[in-house]
Amino acid sequence: MKLFLAASLVMLASVFATQAQQVNRLKSYFNSFIQDTADISRPQVLVYPTLGYSPETNTEIGLSGLLLYYHGRDTTNRLSEITARTFFTFENQYGAFLEHALYTDNNDWFMLGNIRYQSFPVSFYGVGISTTLSDEQTVSGQQLLIRERILRKIRGNFYAGVNLDYNLTSGVNFSNPRLLPESPRLHGKDGSQNLGLGLGLVLDTRHNVLNVRNGYFIELALVNSAAALISDHDFRYINIDTRYFETVRKNQVLAMQLVGQFSWGEVPFNQLPQIGGPFLMRGYYQGRFRDRHLLATQMEYRFLPLPLGFTDRIGAVAFASAGTVYSDISSVDFRHLKGAAGAGLRFLLFPKKDIYIRLDYALTREGNGFYIYIGEAF
């Protein structure tokens, strides 16, 4: 009996010791992010549950991960980042995203892209800037998107390389197909597979993609999708993305972006340039307005961090944006320009790497949106 009691006490002590070790490891794990005590050159991995809200998804839950590193642990290289996210929403949407911005030694190669799989329904309002909320219907389906830019440094901060876009959409179903336009034809309404290849040119002086304080980024992409490339539709597009960042006062950053997206041919409805979402024209439902061509601009003023005195980990931003979509150059009408504005809070997640979590609230004439992400919108 005494032997049994002694063995039981040893087992209980072992269990409590193991649990204490696990609790200490967990505390140490989260403390490493809160305090950011790691060597700045050391890669950092964060895995965390997510709870968020946006106009596109309503409430969503999921699991996310973030990897930050300098190639070869050399901090003269630009900061590389990989983000992964799985999600399930109260709108019966689910999926997984993997996004990355990777630099090799001496920043000789730059790989920028994402892989996404999602099962949706989402709201579809038609094509054009004049669509109304009463045009809303639901489109469901599954989508696999692979977008990759593989770029080689040519000289200084100038990169050139290839663009690859692959989009597979299946199981497409519109809740009210009678609202779909007969002319022009809505391409991809029965699903499609398209592979686009083209040229990518980038001028990039950013050191930290997730939070730029000084520098600029200019990207030009020319991509062609043709039946010869296993595509169901023949179309081509040009994307121009210009961004400028300047520290105007200590810890105060002015950020500006101008985007132009232009497409021709049989462009599937879900690959048309779109206004809305967590990165461009926040506050509008992603895809609220779509058409063959898009022009949009946004500006932010960032306080990173705020001069609060009791902490240096809280920041704030104010932002505004404007944009439009149109079918051809002769139909551009800036009287239909859409605008959005908002503000957000920031929490400094990795002080040594200058990475913030953003919480943005945006207002539009049609409603508002709330977004939670790691890293700035642009």
Q: What local confidence, expressed as pLDDT, does residue 16 receive?
A: 47
One domain for residues 96 and 184? yes
Q: What local confidence, expressed as pLDDT, does residue 18 receive?
A: 52
One domain for residues 72 and 95? yes
Average pLDDT over residues 1-27: 51
- CATH number of the domain to which 162 belongs: 2.40.160.50
Phi and psi at 54, nearest 5°, equal -155, 160
Please, are residues 353 and 44 in contact by the beta-carbon 8 Å criterion? yes
Q: What local confidence, expressed as pLDDT, does residue 48 receive?
A: 87
One domain for residues 318 and 347? yes
One domain for residues 28 and 125? no
Average pLDDT over residues 322-327: 96
One domain for residues 8 and 76? no
One domain for residues 46 and 177? yes
Instruction: Please give the Cα distance from 108 to 113 (Å, whole number).
Output: 17
Q: What percent of the chain has pLDDT over 70?
A: 90
Q: Would you say residue 342 has pLDDT above 50? A: yes
Q: Would you say residue 55 has pLDDT above 80? A: no
Number of alpha carbons in the 13 Å side-chain half-sphere of residue 213:
13
Please, are residues 196 and 163 in contact by the beta-carbon 8 Å criterion? yes
To the nearest 10°, the Cα dihedral for 273, 279, 280, 281? 120
One domain for residues 19 and 137? no
3-state secondary structure of 112: strand
Q: What is the DSSP letter of 42?
A: S
Q: What local confidence, expressed as pLDDT, does residue 56 receive?
A: 75
One domain for residues 257 and 349? yes
Q: What local confidence, expressed as pLDDT, does residue 285 receive?
A: 93
The CA-atom distances, in angstroms, between 187 and each of 81, 121, 184 are 35, 18, 9
Q: Would you say residue 325 has pLDDT above 60? A: yes
- Structure tokens given for 371: 């977004």
Q: What residue numbers bound the domain in which 19 lies?
A: 1-35
Q: What local confidence, expressed as pLDDT, does residue 185 receive?
A: 86
Q: Residue 14: exposed, middle, or buried by beta-carbon count in 10 A (0-12, 13-18, 19+)?
A: exposed
Q: Would you say residue 268 has pLDDT above 50? A: yes
Q: What local confidence, expressed as pLDDT, does residue 37 receive?
A: 59
pTM of the model: 0.86
- Range of lowest pLDDT (124-138, 258-272, 324-338, 349-363): 324-338
DSSP letters along 280-327, please? SSTTSPTTSEE-SEEEEEEEEEEESS---SS-SSEEEEEEEEEEEEES
Total number of domains constituting the chain: 2
One domain for residues 111 and 1? no
Average pLDDT over residues 248-269: 97
Instruction: Please give the Cα distance from 180 to 198 (Å, whole number).
Output: 31
Q: What local confidence, expressed as pLDDT, does residue 4 receive?
A: 45
One domain for residues 59 and 129? yes
| pLDDT band, residue 234 (cuts 50/70/90) | very high
pLDDT in tens, 80-99: 999 999 999 888 899 999 99
One domain for residues 122 and 8? no
Q: What local confidence, expressed as pLDDT, does residue 142 receive?
A: 97
Tell me how many degrees the CA angle 167-114-206 measures, rounded to the nearest 5. Answer: 135
One domain for residues 48 and 13? no
